Structure 1
Amino acid sequence: MRLFETRAGDDGLPGPERFLAVLALVSGTLMAVVDTTMINLALPSIAADLKVTSSDVVWVTNIFQVVCAAFLLVFAGLSELVTRRRIYLFGLGTFVVAALGSALSRNLDTLLVFRALQGLGAAATLSIGPSIYRLIFPSRLLGSALGLSALVVGGGYAAGPTLSGLVLSFTHWPWLFALNVPLGLASFLLARHALPKETPRQGSFDTRGALYSMLMLASLFLTMNAIGHRAPVWQCAGFGLGMLLAGTAFIRRQRRAPYPLLPLHLFREKRFTLAVSASGFAFVGQGLAFVALSFLYQEKMGLSPLLTAWLFTPWPLALMVVGPLAGRLADRVNPSVLSSIGLGLLIVGFVALALVDESTGIAGSLWRVALCGIGFGLFQPPNNREMMASLPAARSANASGVMSTTRTVGQSLGVALVGAALALGLAVQVTLWLGALTALLSLIASVARIPLARRAMRERASSRSA
């Protein structure tokens, strides 16, 4: 395969070593993504078995997401001090131990403790995964590598609900967690053998910045979750105030810290800033769509939950097919142009979904969701390539942390927007129009960096010829 060919002058790992390292990354990432999607379907079973309410059992998902969001930037910064390899191995090991603990839990409190530990492990692996791709692959194949990452994530999102349904059809929910143990152990051993070693950075760790970051991101997620679940105003305001105070303290600390957790000067690079902006708006739209479509299909069209889940599959399946192709193209043509075309298709898909009514058939729904998936697949890998390639390789861990945080925050904000819109009594189609608007904002950011990306490609070509 082209991804594992070695040419003279390549940076990264040689071809055979590259294959094993990628296999370790793919298995670890797939495990975390599948776990995130398959547990949601099991929440009713967990509630019945542990004899808890639906509002309480939701925290099995929430606490995983809160902890994961809070530690993304922390692990990205810490990886420079102790190396990405060690952080990734710590994440895999923690995830596997916590999965075993979750499978053996017999009350909600114990399960929540282990789910929090799983969120910690997932944060360690997901925060630095994209930057390890840059460490493994030569620069000429970065887009293809990130396209492979999109394929894995898309496959995980598509397989999670189906796998969960199959397992629950034959056995009980603890097996959903137990499945991660053998896969996680195999991934850990492979990663320990195959992932490249690095020389750690000298210097201190920004402990105060890490604390502010955790408080800021956890409060941000809790604020969005409270809005999305129509919590009392005082609760939403309290979380929001905590987010603002922690965010202000975090920014001040980053300006003064000798080794900041998130160097703010990264955002002076316009290509990076615009890629982050485009990613954030696009993931708001994705998070919004996944929740809005559940209400649209079940309440507006009267479809069953199982059929609703099936109607979601064209999105991740299209991402699996288009993402790797877009990643390969991004190594040859302007990535910003590809991202912009993808966002244009995403906007059309959102508008088409907003026009769905009771008369729209299954086929009419499928092509609309597939169009969104094609657009998102054409957007994401080239945009991620721009985000990673616009900064020096030494800052790839920071870029990876920002990428993961932007995705998590964007999706959570999309969920919160749906909750707020429904709480105000707005029709679910209105939220899909909001999705089209966020995709349009993403398109504006993407188009704005096309000349910058073109200039960077010219400079890279001239440096090679020299």
Structure 2
Amino acid sequence: MMSSARRRWAGLVFISVAVALIIVDSTIINVAIPAIVEDLGITSSEVQWVQEAYTLVFASLLLVFGSLADRVGRRRMLLIGVVVFTLASVGAALASSGGLLIAARFVQGVGGAMILPTTLSLLNATFRGRERAIAFAVWGSTIGGMAAVGPLLGGWLTTEFSWHWAFLINVPLGILIVIGVLLTVDESRGDAQSIDVVGALLSVITVGALVFGLIEGRTYGWLTTEKHLTIGDWTWPWDVSPVAVAFVIAAVGLAAFIAWGLHRRRAGKPTILAFGLFRIPSFRNGNIAAMVVALGEFGLILALPLWLQFVLGFQAVQTGLILLALAIGSFVASGVAGALSGRVAPVWIVRAGIVAEIIGVAAVGFVIGPDASWLPLIPALFVYGLGVGLATAQLTGVVLADVPTAEGGQASGTQSTARQLGAALGIAILGTILFSTTATSLTAKLDDRGLPADERDQVVSSVVDSAGGAIAGLAASPQTAPLADDAKAAFSEGTKYASFAAAGFLTLGLLATLSLGNGSRRDEPAEVEAAEPAGAAASVRHRHPRHDVGDLP
């Protein structure tokens, strides 16, 4: 029989592999996208939706499943999520059209939303003290490292086999996780309370409407309808853009979500978002910082592989090798963070990480150009990865440091939602900057050539709608080769602006960490409450609403 300590650490390995499964999948697709564009003929909007279908559902349902896992069992929810994710991966691999692929990505998002918050709450329930800090560091480093390993793996699979294997790789990993978790991870639960169904629906509507508007604004118009939205036989009939309506729905949904949550909390009923936890300064401010930082981090990963392959002409595996510098930086950061643990306040490690990210991303922006060399990208991406590794691992610990174990599911769900909402907004905003800037720049360049308006619009549309995939076709013909040069320059300009925008958002994230204090914690009060039976802790909070977990330091 395996000792309890060895079993606990073995469980950490399989929980980390579960995290790796969903993180690798969210990044592996970036390198495979150009091959998917060529094979399935998807448009630039569909390119964003292949990313967003996963991230949108992921972000929308994290709170729901984080709360539900406390009720039905965290290990059980993790296992169900792995099965759903694996089956959806098979569906994505077999997709024969952009629509089917997007649908499979939606289902993958459901499985991912079951997995991520339960991994954190399982760690929170299994480990204590310094062991918990180590477990969080491993969890965070896994995210940072796998976010970069994904493109390398995706590049190799896409080049040597096909893009379908970027999804089929999840099948053996899913089987390994299920077996390992059953053998090494104990079940745990939180408060067995009813689920806030109305709050869940409002959160899904709010996030979904916001991301739809950010992605489709350039297609359908931001205020007035420039292109009519068609769903089946129904066509959008009004002059007001569906995007403007989506933003209104998001604003109303957010207000309703907050009002409903506060109403239920005053009535002593459970809420989908643990509003009481926002009384904890580290939890509240850390979530804000995590969301803004993720917005800057993940948006760049959409643009860079497209630019490397469609502008510089690299194969998928070459693109993965270049992005490997990011992975190496992240793995180095895990060692650095471990060495600094207990010597430097976590928040200072977070700030150092974000500063490194800003430097790395800005350097990438300065390097990018139609005739750029890949060599200067390597140190820039290494510094960026170093920052990702430092910030991700330590920020997780800062956010959850003072959260009682009984609140682990909702807390980890909220923290993960903040990250994923930031990632979704990053992909939407930076993707829109990439394609809008490309369209504007290419239009101006073709006008300077004196190209007739109809031909100009056709070229711009082909380049933007294909997410750059049409550039190779233009370059292949002597008659259109000069237009390909303009397209490469325009796409480079779009990628450059997306990089600088990412650096700007990371700077905002750095400023947000200034409200986190010195990042220290007093373990005793949190550990005392964490040691209480879940029902006892909940009853104390309901009897004394002003003496909430937020009163903890």
CA separation in 2, counterparts of 1:289 and 1:46? Answer: 19
CA contact (8 A) 1:76 1:127 kept: yes
Q: CA deviation at 1:405?
A: 1.4
CA contact (8 A) 2:63 2:417 kept: yes
Amino acid at match of 1:315: L
Q: CA deviation at 1:140?
A: 1.5
CA separation in 1, counterparts of 2:275 and 2:525? Answer: 25
Alpha-carbon spacing, 1:311–1:348, altered in 2? closer, same or farther (3 Å) = same
Alpha-carbon spacing, 1:317–1:94, altered in 2? closer, same or farther (3 Å) = same
Counterpart residue number, 2:170: 180
5+ residue gaps, structure 1, are 1-5, 7-12, 462-466
CA contact (8 A) 1:285 1:438 kept: yes
2:80 maps to 1:90 = yes
2:521 maps to 1:450 = no
Counterpart residue number, 1:337: 348
Counterpart residue number, 1:266: 277
2:367 maps to 1:378 = no
Higher mean Cα deviation, 430-439 or 310-319?
430-439
CA separation in 1, counterparts of 2:159 and 2:305? Answer: 22
Counterpart residue number, 1:438: 505
Counterpart residue number, 1:304: 314
Counterpart residue number, 2:465: none
Alpha-carbon spacing, 1:411–1:112, altered in 2? closer, same or farther (3 Å) = closer
CA contact (8 A) 1:92 1:188 kept: yes
Amino acid at match of 2:80: F
CA separation in 2, counterparts of 1:388 and 1:305? Answer: 41
Q: CA deviation at 1:25?
A: 0.9
Alpha-carbon spacing, 1:430–1:21, altered in 2? closer, same or farther (3 Å) = same
Amino acid at match of 1:149: W
CA separation in 2, counterparts of 1:345 and 1:104? Answer: 40
Residue pairs, 1:119-130, within 5 angstroms: 119-130=109-120
Choose the corresponding residue for 2:326, options 300, 315, 334.
315
Q: CA deviation at 1:48?
A: 5.7
SS in structure 2 opposite 1:378?
A: helix
Alpha-carbon spacing, 1:445–1:237, altered in 2? closer, same or farther (3 Å) = same
CA separation in 2, counterparts of 1:148 and 1:405? Answer: 20
CA separation in 2, counterparts of 1:236 and 1:69? Answer: 20
- 1:355-396 Cα offsets, whole Å, 9 max, x none, are 336587543322122112212222221111010112222222
Normalised to the residue count of structure 1, the TM-score between the two structures is: 0.84
Counterpart residue number, 1:282: 293
- 1:292-326 Cα offsets, whole Å, 9 max, x none, are 54577678x84636455443332232112213541
Q: CA deviation at 1:72?
A: 1.1
Q: CA deviation at 1:88?
A: 0.8
CA contact (8 A) 1:69 1:218 kept: no
Residue pairs, 1:170-209, within 5 angstroms: 170-209=160-199
CA contact (8 A) 1:312 1:369 kept: yes
Q: CA deviation at 1:159?
A: 2.7
Q: CA deviation at 1:107?
A: 5.5
Amino acid at match of 1:450: G
CA separation in 1, counterparts of 2:47 and 2:433? Answer: 24
CA contact (8 A) 1:21 1:195 kept: yes
Counterpart residue number, 1:20: 10
Choose the corresponding residue for 1:144, options 118, 134, 158.
134
Alpha-carbon spacing, 1:146–1:40, altered in 2? closer, same or farther (3 Å) = same
2:258 maps to 1:248 = no
CA contact (8 A) 1:346 1:439 kept: yes
Alpha-carbon spacing, 1:110–1:432, altered in 2? closer, same or farther (3 Å) = closer
Counterpart residue number, 1:349: 360
Alpha-carbon spacing, 1:231–1:21, altered in 2? closer, same or farther (3 Å) = farther
More helix by share: 1
Counterpart residue number, 2:542: none
CA contact (8 A) 1:203 1:259 kept: yes
Alpha-carbon spacing, 1:60–1:284, altered in 2? closer, same or farther (3 Å) = closer
Counterpart residue number, 2:337: 326
Q: CA deviation at 1:242?
A: 2.0
CA separation in 1, counterparts of 2:33 and 2:313? Answer: 20
- 1:59-114 Cα offsets, whole Å, 9 max, x none, are 44432232222211110111121121121111012112223344445565555444
CA separation in 1, counterparts of 2:79 and 2:215? Answer: 30
2:221 maps to 1:232 = yes
Q: CA deviation at 1:164?
A: 2.6
Amino acid at match of 1:408: Q
CA separation in 1, counterparts of 2:499 and 2:167? Answer: 34
CA separation in 2, counterparts of 1:294 and 1:350? Answer: 14
CA contact (8 A) 2:402 2:523 kept: no
CA contact (8 A) 1:144 1:331 kept: no
CA separation in 2, counterparts of 1:434 and 1:54? Answer: 20
Q: CA deviation at 1:435?
A: 3.0
Residue correspondences, number: 448
- What percent identity do the matched residue pairs reach? 27
2:376 maps to 1:364 = yes
Counterpart residue number, 1:464: none
CA contact (8 A) 1:337 1:450 kept: no
Q: CA deviation at 1:283?
A: 1.3
- 1:164-207 Cα offsets, whole Å, 9 max, x none, are 33333443444433332232122112212322222452331111
5+ residue gaps, structure 2, are 223-240, 442-492, 528-553
Normalised to the residue count of structure 2, the TM-score between the two structures is: 0.72
CA separation in 2, counterparts of 1:291 and 1:100? Answer: 23
Alpha-carbon spacing, 1:185–1:297, altered in 2? closer, same or farther (3 Å) = closer
SS in structure 1 opposite 2:376?
A: helix
- 1:224-253 Cα offsets, whole Å, 9 max, x none, are 3224x6542224323222211221221111
Choose the corresponding residue for 1:405, options 411, 417, 441.
417
Q: Which has the larger radius of gyration?
A: 2
Q: CA deviation at 1:121?
A: 0.7
Alpha-carbon spacing, 1:46–1:21, altered in 2? closer, same or farther (3 Å) = same
Alpha-carbon spacing, 1:199–1:58, altered in 2? closer, same or farther (3 Å) = closer
CA separation in 1, counterparts of 2:359 and 2:158? Answer: 37
Alpha-carbon spacing, 1:368–1:256, altered in 2? closer, same or farther (3 Å) = same
Amino acid at match of 1:290: I
CA separation in 2, counterparts of 1:86 and 1:67? Answer: 20
